[in-house]
Amino acid sequence: MLRVVSRRLVQLVITLIALMTLVFFWLRSLPGGPVDALLGERATPQTRETLTRALGYDQPIWVQYSRFLKNVVTGNFGNSIRTGEPVADVISRSFPATIELAVAAMIIAVGLGIPLGYLAARHRGRLLDNVTIIVTLIGISIPIFFLGYLLKDWLTQDIHFFPPSGRISTGTDNTDVTGFFVLDGLLTRELDASADALWHLVLPAITLATIPLAIIVRITRASVLDVLDEDYIRTADAKGLRNTTIRKRHVLRNALLPVVTTVGLQTGALLAGAVLTEKVYNWGGLGTLITDSISGGRDYPVLQALILLAAAVFIVVNLLVDLSYAFIDPRVRVQ
Amino acid sequence: MALLDVRDLSVVFQRKGATPFTAVDGVSFTVEPGQTVGLVGESGCGKSVTSLAIMGLLPRRGNTVTGEVRFDDTDLLTLRPQELRDRRGQDIGMIFQDPLSSLNPVIPLGLQVAEVLERHQGRSRQTALREAGVLLDAVGIPDPARRLKEFPHQLSGGMRQRALIAIALACKPRLLIADEPTTALDVTIQAQILTLLKDLVDQSGTALVMITHDLGVVAGLCDTVNVLYAGKVVERAGRHDLFADPRHPYTHGLLQSVPRLDADRGGRLHQIRGSVSDNIPWSEGCAFAPRCDRVVDDCIGETVPLEPAARGGALRCTNPVPQEVPA
């Protein structure tokens, strides 16, 4: 097991280096650049040159590249071109918001998806199953921003039930410990702040959860149906085992394998959905940071760090998937 | 009184939009305590469906099971699902064809054996696991203590089938149904498994229903043999009678089809022409008639009845193979 993990960590490093290289050259191959973005069209050639030199963009590209690599290895991603702050600060301010949103969405998607998919499979061909198939099809097809604005319009404008935007009500006296507002409230015993943050979380989390939820329901349903047809389930029946034992011990564990893979992939894909969701609910997270960094001045250092972070999250999630696979299925355990 | 008395058992598959298919068509046979009875026939003759119907393991949707399956004078077909569950694994054990797919890949072998004991004998997990070790030892699995913790993929095919036998016999059932237990195994392993089965049922007095297409298995094991064709019993006889003197042309053909070492080199192997699907409905005569070498006009028209044979057993044929006159 340890060998698998360490091999995966080496893979992670290699992937990240390759990705850094790609990102570095890709960003610089885009038309325009930070200098144009910062100075606008009417800047004189002099100011343009001064700024280019100040940012180090006059150096040959390989010098820039090696300096970038050296900085990344030492954990220094530079300063944001837009705000001048260190990149690490900028990101760590937005990171908890997105993680909070993503975790909430995945809790909804997994917590509802697996039981629903299982129920649908047990009611195969009957009403509940058919309704599930249709509803999940809608869930997969509906665009996130559309659903987001729909829910927002309906539940925050027509009916003032949920707060329309933000992570916490303005004026709430909350202490920032981890940046995860719900968690912070619990840690500092400011339960009202926790509840308020949770209340703000509901709509964005539901919006972000719909697609993974629908996919998880469908995969679980299909997977359970497959397992029910397996010979070993017939054996379990022939043993006279109770239905509950068969379901819990024999069906569920085998059926979870494809579900775990799906959960991993969906977690990785969540970041894309987060960009849209955060936009709709004005949620100051990584998604907002990405859009701002691209549209507001080609913030190379921030963008590079963000892309690397996204990749690292994706790889770590996949590593976790592999580990849980080995945990569930003895056949994939390495001897 | 017979331990198992199957009377007029029929299974009809009804799928949406398809014509109903009668997989088992009025099959009757009995199994006495401790007896070994064979159900023999080609693929598709209904032998596996018969065993699943006896166990109540056919999916409820799309299948109609009629007739009686009297076990200990209780009709299993009338039992509620829960009552049937209490009997399966306890009174009747079953072994399946493919040992790899019949064992759960993600559960340690020990638990797969132990859970039957927990369920039917009220054993604690610990006691059940200890007994599971004894059972594995009894079916000839070496180093059972280690094997208990292993998973099916870590065992060889023969070991897996031994494990399945241990599971089926864990509660010392009075009846064991073995559905092609050696088909998926190497020939050398087949013999070992058959010997093991024979020893175990002899020791424990368990009755055995052996479902197979392999006449070698029948010859080695069965007291009585039922030959099935297209869902009906066409001939029933004691093992010796059947092999020495098959009366039904189908049985005769099956026996002829076994390759012989002392046959001429280059001689063609015997085969029954056509396939199981080349049949006519039993209601219009003998289903085997289109493939039969001894077909006569009387074979077509109405259902050929299963008549008791003079030597014991029964025969469903208008023009049987003539009895060999002892020289």
Beta bridge mates, B300: B285
A183 touches B at CB < 8 Å = no
With CB atoms and an 8 Å threshold, state whether B57 touches A242: no
B134 touches A at CB < 8 Å = no
pLDDT greater than 80 at residue B309: yes
Buried b (16+ CB within 10 A) or exposed e, B250-263: bbbbbeeeeeeeee
The pLDDT, as a whole number, for residue B316 is 93
B106 touches A at CB < 8 Å = yes
pLDDT beneath 50: ranges in chain A:
335
In a domain, A72, yes or no: no
The pLDDT, as a whole number, for residue A27 is 79
Asked whether A98 and A278 are in contact (CB, 8 A), the reply is yes
The span from the CA of A173 to the CA of B225, in Å, is 86
The pLDDT, as a whole number, for residue A306 is 87
Q: Which of A237, A254, A331 sits opposite B153 (nearest CB)?
A: A331
pLDDT mean over B184-201: 88
Determine whether A160 is exposed, middle or buried from the number of CB atoms within 10 Å of its CB (0-12, 13-18, 19+).
exposed
pLDDT mean over B277-285: 85
Q: What value, to the nearest 5°, has the Cα angle with vertex A41 and ends A39 and A45?
A: 70
Asked whether B112 and B100 are in contact (CB, 8 A), the reply is no
Closest residue, chain B, to A232 (C-alpha)? B102
Enumerate residues 6+ apart whose C-beta is below 8 A from B66: B8, B9, B10, B12, B77
Q: A-B interface: how many C-beta pairs under 8 angstroms?
A: 78
Longest Cα–Cα distance of chain B, Å, equals 67
The pLDDT, as a whole number, for residue A334 is 57
DSSP B173-239: -SEEEEESTTTTS-HHHHHHHHHHHHHHHHHHT-EEEEEES-HHHHHHH-SEEEEEETTEEEEEEEH
Closest residue, chain A, to B109 (C-alpha)? A330
Find where tokens 């065992």 sit. Answer: B155
Side chain identity at B238, as an amino acid letter?
G
Q: What is the CATH number of domain B4-222?
A: 3.40.50.300
In a domain, A220, yes or no: yes
**Where are chain B's structural domains?**
4-222, 234-259+271-315
The pLDDT, as a whole number, for residue A287 is 85
In a domain, A238, yes or no: yes
Enumerate residues 6+ apart whose C-beta is below 8 A from B134: B144
CATH of the domain at A240: 1.10.3720.10
Return the sign of the alpha-carbon dihedral for residues A322, A324, A329, A330.
positive
Show the tokens assigned to B324.
């060999």
Mean pLDDT for all residues in chain B: 90
Runs of H (alpha helix) within B13-150: 47-55, 81-87, 99-102, 109-121, 125-138, 144-147
The pLDDT, as a whole number, for residue B9 is 95
With CB atoms and an 8 Å threshold, state whether B105 touches A331: yes
Show the tokens assigned to B32.
């006495």
In a domain, A71, yes or no: no
Show the tokens assigned to B39.
């159900």
User: Which residues 152-171 of B have a C-beta within 8 angstroms of A?
Assistant: 153, 164, 167-168
In a domain, A138, yes or no: yes
With CB atoms and an 8 Å threshold, state whether A254 touches B57: no
Q: How far is A221 from chain B (nearest CA, A)?
A: 19
pLDDT tens per residue, range B126-183: 999 999 999 999 999 999 999 999 999 999 988 999 999 999 999 999 999 999 998 8
With CB atoms and an 8 Å threshold, state whether A232 touches B102: yes
Domain count for chain A? 1
% of chain B residues with pLDDT over 70: 99
Runs of H (alpha helix) within B15-108: 47-55, 81-87, 99-102
Find where tokens 């076994």 sit. Answer: B258
In a domain, A321, yes or no: yes
The span from the CA of B38 to the CA of B250, in Å, is 16
Asked whether A278 and A287 are in contact (CB, 8 A), the reply is yes
Containing structural domain, residue A256: 87-332
With CB atoms and an 8 Å threshold, state whether A331 touches B151: yes
The pLDDT, as a whole number, for residue B7 is 94
ipTM score for this prediction? 0.89
CA-nearest of B93, B27, B3, B98 to B57 is B93
Show the tokens assigned to A211.
């697609």
CA-nearest of B64, B87, B83 to B4 is B87
Kindly report the number of other CB atoms within 10 A of residue B100's CB atom: 15
pLDDT band at B214; cut points 50, 70, 90: confident
The pLDDT, as a whole number, for residue A255 is 94
The pLDDT, as a whole number, for residue A335 is 47
A234 touches B at CB < 8 Å = yes
Instruction: State the number of CA atoms in the 13 A half-sphere of B238 facing the CB.
Output: 5
pLDDT greater than 70 at residue B327: no
% of chain B residues with pLDDT over 90: 60
The span from the CA of B251 to the CA of A172, in Å, is 89
pLDDT tens per residue, range B50-83: 999 999 999 878 889 999 999 998 999 999 999 9
The pLDDT, as a whole number, for residue B325 is 62
Q: Which of A231, A240, A245 sits opposite B90 (nearest CB)?
A: A240
Kindly report the number of other CB atoms within 10 A of residue B223's CB atom: 17
Q: Which of B89, B103, B119 sits opposite A232 (nearest CB)?
A: B103
